[in-house]
Structure 1
């Protein structure tokens, strides 16, 4: 992978070391693809995901079918008849930084996730979410269904205007071909069109802009990466590989610019970054999760998640992490904390019923917290990208820690309330 606008042909086709003849032939295939890219874009972007060459051929003209058959035959020379097998997230891997900020294309799913609370120069409070997703497509079972690209890239950008109780959401989807979208393996750079996140070490920059709403943020980490689960191996359910590698940068000092309705202001605040990668996280009997990231005013943080099952119970592999003021972590099992739903809200758009207020208790730390959303309508309906409806919103925190009053801010994510999640 070279610059963002110079993706190597071998990377696009899933190869590693290829000779000059293969490179020339693959470049020829890419040129043919780009000639038809505009005509095929609508088919690819609005079809159910992932779309295959065979499925595309049923939706385009007969003239195009011969072209695709020719391309498929040539691609078979390099993909081979056997299916690619993605790696599983297994215990024992040591996460190394900054390398593990980069992309991991040998795992099927990966996301880089940022949330934060910002205050503008004029005093207005905002919450934001920026997430980049990579979804691998190399595990097809036969040659004719192999795609011309090895990954799909999706991105979400949401802004919560807390004073106005207004929620703005944008989304992107691109094929991993050419320079439209990608994730580097040799440095920290993930992009989807003109949206990108990059960085050196644990200091990152976010740039997103769409239809008069934009963020340009510099994030400086005040703590080392917090490794969740067993040294970064986060088990999500029973069985080998039902897990992800998962870490967070839990206290990112943030400053930059926010543009709303074409008007730009300076902003500052605090952000949180998650990075997860794996290949087979959820079991069939799991429908989704409730996830909490809380930044408290005593310079500590809390991450909790509950994996929900079809029968309404909480999976025993649900867990959490406490991060103290110095960055030291303490793993929490499901038995170490309680989350009580205090209120629910029905979405007028999706009809989903979401928990909307919570009480959290961590008895071993003498922590009791009340969590309240900035406002209820912070739901994302992502019909043009991941096809998942979920709630992701800014929250306020108040309570006690070892008898002393404590406040904070955070984000809550809830998936699977509008339909089972599959990853």
Structure 2
């Protein structure tokens, strides 16, 4: 009894083991296919993630590079190009090239092939550029030749970033130049102010002071003598000194600010000033100055006169000219001012750069005056062929 019970308990075990074995044999193949499918899917997702990480890394590093305001623009652009090949699907055959402003930044093995991806860009100030990515060898087709759709988005983003970076750096450079110019002009203004004060002090002391001293001597002589002839001579000499002193005081006042600018207008003031300076320097002058209708503010009128002053002064100091001509005419939008000479000329690009040389600051001062009124400035010059300076000051709508 006990033995039969033991057998009944033992008999099912081989069957169960066989059943499990058969069931296990039947289920083995489906589990393997499912595992392969899962493995394949995971592998594809991992590949896509790796590609996206590469693209994001390239964008992140590009942004970091573009934040450097000290490194030269050319160095930054060259480093950006070096980040491109590792970001594409087949870095081992990828080359890139960035072209902008006539400058070209290729990777070492760049050459144009049949497998190329390109993005063009234009900066707000009109500079054109292009970013090119090539494969040196054929690769399987994707959404754009052998290139992924995400790679099209990436190259477009990089091109847009380059345009923004170039625009920002140009604005920063212009701001720095403007700041340096203002500093140079401020120093020049202080120097000129001190020179004018020194010259005024010398004129008052040497000319006006001596004139009054001579007048005092003459009056004392008249007081001491009873000789009518000597009195008459002293009086005549005193009258002459008074006339000369009055003329000198008038010239000093006109040099500081011509009263005819307020009394007779800009055209008359320009004719008087150019003629007077040409006569002093002994060179021929031509003035075509037409009365300006209402439309310029008082500040703009003074600016126009100061531009003529500075332009004529530059000619007399540096041009070694035998002739100068000034034209002042109203046009539809404002006042056109042209100052010409037949002197030795110069290189405008060199002169208009910020420099410590005082001779350069005259033209920079003219340029800044024009810019203050949103005007237009143009200068052309050739060595030994003279110089032509043109300016346009727009009418003030509020006048």
Interval of TM-score (by shorter of Structure 1 and Structure 2): under 0.3
Higher helix share: 2
Larger radius of gyration: 2
Higher strand share: 1
Q: TM-score, normalised by structure 2?
A: 0.20
